A and B are shown apart, each in its own frame.
Chain A
Amino acid sequence: MPQGWLQIAVFLVVLIALIKPVGIYMARVFTNRRVFLTPVVGPIERLTFKVLRVRPEAEGQDWKAYARSVIVFSLFSWLALYLILRTQAAHPFNPEGFHSGPWDLSFNTASSFVTNTNWQYYGGETTLTYFSQMAGLTVQNFASAGVGIVVVIALIRGITARSGRELGNFWQDLIRTLLYILVPISIIGALFLVSQGVIQNIGGYSMIHTLTGGTQVLAQGPVASQEVIKELGTNGGGFFNVNSAFPFENSSGLTNFFEMLLILVIPASLTYTYGRMVGSQRQGWAIFSAMFTLFIVGVIVVYMAEQHGTVAQHAAGLHTHAFNGSTGGNMEGKDQRFGVAGTSLWAAITTVTSCGAVNGALESLTGLGQAVPFSNLSLSEVVFGGVGTGLYSMLLYVLLAVFIGGLMVGRTPEYLGKKIQAREIKLVSLGVLVTPLAVLLASGLASATRAGTRSIYAGINPQGFSETLYAYLSQANNNGSALAGYTGFIQPNAPGNVGAYGISFADLLGGAVMIGARFLPILFVLGVAGALAEKRVSPAGLGTMRTDNPTFVILLIGVVILVGALTFFPALLLGPVVQSLTTRLF
């Protein structure tokens, strides 16, 4: 166990060390300043602007124009991806001869990757062509991550605007985010992964003879290039069905460590970028502290729970103590490469961020351990969260905390000098409401109808309920991880998608939830940015509530937990809580 704690501690130290340099770098990118990559990337950037006819200096956008660009871009992305998924039979790079899956599955998948969710009702190696993976999914992994980041940048510009309404230029922001941040890190990261044994090829699947004398088909593919952005962009959609538990995606303890860093580095560093852009590093650290506190509690709980095992396991005589060089603990659904600590930390990281990649089976976590991914999702992905999305969602909570706290100090609440009034509160409330509403309504519908319960694997019991609730928590939060039994796609054991069919209810409801819970909050966030941009800045005084000290961090944590807990407590009761209290095995 001490060795497990050490792994976790080393990871956190490295992460924190990265925050400042990466944060500063991103701040320079978003304020259109020179960075060390400018000599290399600058010409490409200018060429791209020229080709796309973007004139950034001339075309500052107000919030409506910015939002319109986000929607137009995402709509185009969706259509392109849907088209790719529907035309698999005609694809090049299709050695296994896959046909297209059913239309409802394509709807779900297109919605999933455009919204940075990467919820997968399909298994990559049995459903998708290499072309779909490369030109469809990988492209959207970059694009959707970029959209998330630029939205928070627009919000920050709204918060810091001294006059006027302009939030920047969406196209310029998106292109710079891709060229200066996502693509360069991905290139280096992919090369590193390949060096560690992650595969990158476009050949056909190979048949191998196993040690026991049987035969096995080994899937192949351009994995590393997709793997790196899957983590870096907090996308999470695996090339293979078992995601990062598969050695070709995540080959060793070292790649596991590296991939966890990739997942957290941008969301965590954005808090530093934020501090830099608003002109007070303390503001950034305050938000980071709140996020980090909530994160670390989850890490501790899930690790201890997994190490300890459950009441039911003990009752059944399962040995969970460390012995004979084994770490012990609940090893069901975990890979020996990563161990209890490597899997627990991964589970916490991928659910605080909206990454949703898995390196072990969430379905097999202990009741209490499973409560951590559940709670992380219940907090609406504000604890680091997705790239960009996490910070902008957290900033909505910050405004909420500022409002309640501001009243308590007897002044019209203000954040960084901008008054938070009816219009902002309306937009913030709506932005905060969408995700919980989507989760509760969709999982209510799914658990009450025959069409909905068809997707359940575990049966009508607490585990089946957990699967359902988790499915919609994950999709509404654009996370993408799953209690993997839950499905929307049935595939017979026949090659090339022949005879496969989708469960339309799950596919369509899930797709709609992902789109709604992604783009409605984005519109509200940009609305907030627009409202704040127009506000005058009042100077801070003694009577102004500070938002950069421990008292505020505690208030912020309180607001996040209360809103999250109060919304999902009853639902969690009937899933993970029942399971951690009962002696029955479900």
Chain B
Amino acid sequence: MTTETQARSLFDPEILRPALLESVRKLDPRVQVRNPVMFVVEIGAVITTVAWLIQVFGGGPLGGGHEPAGFTLAVTVWLWLTVVFANLAEALAEGRGRAQAASLRAMRTETTATLRDGGEKSAAELTRGDVVVILAGEPIPGDGTVIEGIASVDESAITGESAPVIREAGGDRSAVTGGTRVLSDRIVVEITQEPGKSFLDRMIALVEGAERRKTPNEIALGILLAALTLIFIIVIVSLRPFALFADTELSETTLIALLIALIPTTIGALLSAIGIAGMDRLVRRNVLALSGRAVEASGDCDVLLLDKTGTITLGNREATEFVPMPGVTEAELAEAAQMSSLADETPEGRSIVVLAKGFGIREHDFAQHGEPTFVPFTAQTRMSGVDFNGTRLRKGAGDSIESWVTEEGGRPPAELKAELDRIGREGGTPLAVARNERVLGVIYLKDVVKEGMKARFDQLRAMGIRTIMVTGDNKLTAAKIAEEAGVDDFLAEATPERKLELIKEQQSDGRLVAMTGDGTNDAPALAQADVGVAMNTGTQAAREAGNMVDLDSNPTKLIEIVEVGKQLLITRGALTTFSIANDVAKYFAILPAMFAATYAVGSGSGPLDALNVMSLGTPESAILSAVIFNALIIPLLIPLSLRGVRYRPIGATGLLRRNMLIYGLGGLVVPFIGIKLIDLVVHNLLGA
């Protein structure tokens, strides 16, 4: 079901090289100031750089203490690297999008479009309301609606799907996208975009992150991180007088090292990368979210509205049973049913022919009956059939056949009504078959629920999402299918108005509603829903009303979208927890080092040296190791933040427990190990 295109490797040199350059360029304070946490790191790095310069040119450590210049330099280098690593994370995330954007940009057509009135216009200048003519082999110059003709269109450039799709005037398959190519025939398209605002343009802007605005949860988290940073700044500012009181001089470098180790740099560095990567993951699933807010909202969805037809059931019903009336054999009914369906090219009609074959009835040779006349289905008669040799076969809705038979002078048998009711109750669609004035029986058409739907709905339920099936069927039929498919609720006899009402009703109860839609009459509901996923095959109106477009036009994609939305939040929450929990180990590394000699008796180490539980080599190597760990953890977590923490539909409590264990407890333990290992290298191998 997933149509995820293969992600480029993170360390693809084509992405890595420009990202490295970019991460240095992003050291510009005007860029950094947007991220308070990393901005503080940069300021810290500047101060230690100055401290180092002063030491090199003969001064002592800035602020006090006895550390050698080499220590100051080492801390300085790692502080700058911390900022660079953070930039790298963002640059890598953007780089992947940019690679995608580049291939999209290549598609933007520079051709001239032929207007219907004979004129020509550059594709870039087309505006809303222009009407253009496109012939086979030509690229479509802009987004619009087909107003005349039918054509097969190659949309592989944006969807990745190589099979051409049909686009035609009227109906729900009328939207075309600029940059795709007409393969056959000729269509007339009314342009619906303003210049520079095409679907393709928006898509490029999205994957590049140019239009990225912070999402509500990201803003809230940013505030929390800024608050934590502020707390730690005050902790550090007050630590100097505290230390002086204990007759301990601390250098600026040491204090800044502690500050940077404490503020939530891990999540601060990865926050924007997580957001960009989330969008990118959606794009790779062929979904275009028109705002990050929508992606977040999808993770919050409580209710999913799914159209029955095409989403829950296969688009078509299938004939599964012939039910003859008294005095009619099954074979007789099958034959009549088959003959009346010969000209019926609908999937239902074909399934009747296929079922009839099981009764040994083969293709009929109408020649022996004379020239047949096929009667097509119309919305008024609600039946179709065939006339030959004075025999008139009809099949159609129960009540239509009843009244037809009555008109012909026959009397519908009492059993007919009973059978029609039974099939309806069982969730099927009955089609009655009549020969002249006689009702032969009923064909049982069944909705076929797609395989695996029940499992998917169970999964959704485990995620805490209720599914509501929307169908035009009557209540009985709807109830039966709803039960079979395992949805939580259904809306029967749905009209666009009732659908809209249902959404509003759910929302007024405080629920967030997601839905998919493609038709123009879905547009109001798509706009009303918190997450409206428009099918790319749908109309332009639908595509503009929704806040996401699914290029695969796969209605069950919603489930994946919800997962991506949740992943986004989980990744942020998990890394925040990890980041904060890390501080405990950093305290145990740096504070004993800072106060190793405080209140010492004689020349021995002071009482606080007992807190050096990791038995790190020297005060300098301890502080440096914590700073190095703090920097290195960022690139180590880049893959996780781009991939996202895996979402498991195990209920909120299970998920919370799991993530608390991994990222909370893990966040407590991992840095103890990491810092110790780094210290072994720094102290023993490098002799710091």
Contact = CB atoms under 8 A, between A and B. Distances in A.
Interface string A464-496: 110011000000000000000000000000000
A543 B227 CA distance: 28
Nearest to A432: B227
19 contacts: A405-B660, A408-B574, A410-B565, A412-B300, A421-B217, A429-B223, A441-B237, A444-B240, A444-B241, A447-B241, A464-B245, A537-B510, A539-B511, A541-B302, A551-B656, A562-B580, A569-B587, A574-B243, A581-B611
Contacts of B568: 410
Most buried by B among A447, A464, A541, A578: A541
B564 to A, nearest CB: 10
B328 interface: no
B216 A421 contact: yes
Contacts of A462: 246, 599
A566 interface: yes
Contacts of A448: 241, 244-245
Contacts of A213: none
A16 interface: no
B581 A562 contact: yes
Interface in B549-586: 565-570, 572-574, 576-577, 580-581, 583-584
Nearest to B592: A573
A436 interface: yes
Given A408-B656, A569-B591, A539 B509 contact: yes
Interface in A539-586: 539, 541-546, 549, 551-552, 554-555, 558, 562, 565-567, 569-571, 573-574, 577-578, 581-584
Contacts of B583: 562, 566
A539 B651 contact: no
B463 interface: yes
B219 A422 contact: yes
B142 interface: no
Contact of B217 (A409, A412, A567): A412
A555 to B, nearest CB: 6
A302 B584 CA distance: 23
A469 to B, nearest CB: 8
A530 B12 CA distance: 51
Contacts of B279: none
Contact of A433 (B227, B463, B509): B227
Contacts of B219: 422
Contacts of A411: 299-300, 566, 569, 652
B104 interface: no
Contacts of B231: 433, 436-437, 566-567
A462 B246 CA distance: 7
B607 interface: yes
B220 interface: yes
Given A447-B245, A541-B466, A574-B595, A409 B570 contact: yes
A538 interface: yes
Contacts of A440: 234-235, 237-238
B599 A571 contact: no
B653 A437 contact: no
A556 to B, nearest CB: 11
A417 interface: yes
Nearest to A571: B242
B615 to A, nearest CB: 16
Interface of B: 216-217, 219-221, 223-224, 226-227, 230-232, 234-235, 237-247, 262, 296, 299-300, 302, 461-466, 509-512, 565-570, 572-574, 576-577, 580-581, 583-584, 587, 591, 595, 598-599, 601, 606-608, 610-611, 647, 651-653, 655-657, 659-660, 663-664
A407 interface: yes
A558 B296 CA distance: 27
A425 B238 contact: no
B510 A582 contact: no
Interface of A: 400, 403-413, 417, 420-422, 424-426, 429-430, 432-433, 436-437, 440-441, 443-445, 447-448, 460, 462, 464-465, 468-469, 536-539, 541-546, 549, 551-552, 554-555, 558, 562, 565-567, 569-571, 573-574, 577-578, 581-584
B589 to A, nearest CB: 13
A538 B512 contact: yes
Contacts, number: 218
Nearest to A544: B652
A543 B226 CA distance: 28
Q: Which 8 residue pairs spanning A and B have beta carbons closest together? A: A543-B464, A407-B573, A410-B566, A448-B241, A429-B227, A542-B464, A444-B238, A408-B573
Contacts of B651: 542-543
Given A536-B510, A542-B462, A405 B245 contact: no
Contacts of B300: 411-412
Given A425-B220, A581-B608, 6 more contacts: A409-B659, A539-B509, A555-B656, A570-B242, A573-B608, A573-B611
Nearest to B647: A410
A546 B652 contact: yes
B231 to A, nearest CB: 6
A574 B656 contact: no
B608 A577 contact: yes
A461 to B, nearest CB: 8
Contacts of B572: 407
Most A CB within 10 A of own CB, among B231, B237, B242, B246: B242
B96 to A, nearest CB: 23
A539 B513 CA distance: 13
A409 B240 CA distance: 40
A469 B466 CA distance: 54
Given A412-B217, A412-B296, A574-B243, A551 B565 contact: no
B518 to A, nearest CB: 27
A535 B20 CA distance: 45
A407 B221 contact: yes
Contacts of B243: 574
A426 B235 CA distance: 20
Contacts of A437: 230-231, 234
A75 to B, nearest CB: 28
A521 to B, nearest CB: 14
Contact of A417 (B244, B299, B510, B610): B510
A574 B245 contact: yes
A541 B649 CA distance: 13
B660 A465 contact: no
A468 B242 CA distance: 10
A566 B587 contact: yes
A465 B246 contact: yes
B659 A465 contact: no
A578 B599 contact: yes
Contacts of B230: 433, 437
Report which residue of B224, B232, B262 has the largest number of chain A beta carbons within 10 angstroms of its beta carbon: B224
Contact of A546 (B466, B509, B653): B653
A469 B246 CA distance: 13
B464 A405 contact: no
A570 B464 CA distance: 43
Nearest to B236: A570
Contact of B655 (A410, A552, A583, A584): A410
A429 B299 CA distance: 25
A545 B569 CA distance: 13
A578 B572 CA distance: 37
Contacts of B223: 422, 425-426, 429
Contacts of A432: 227
Contacts of A549: 653
Interface centre among B240, B611, B657, by most A CB within 10 Å? B657
Nearest to B461: A542
Contacts of B509: 539
A408 B510 contact: no
B224 A578 contact: no
A430 B647 CA distance: 32
Contacts of A562: 580-581, 583-584
Nearest to B217: A412
Given A407-B221, A545-B653, A578-B607, A566 B242 contact: no
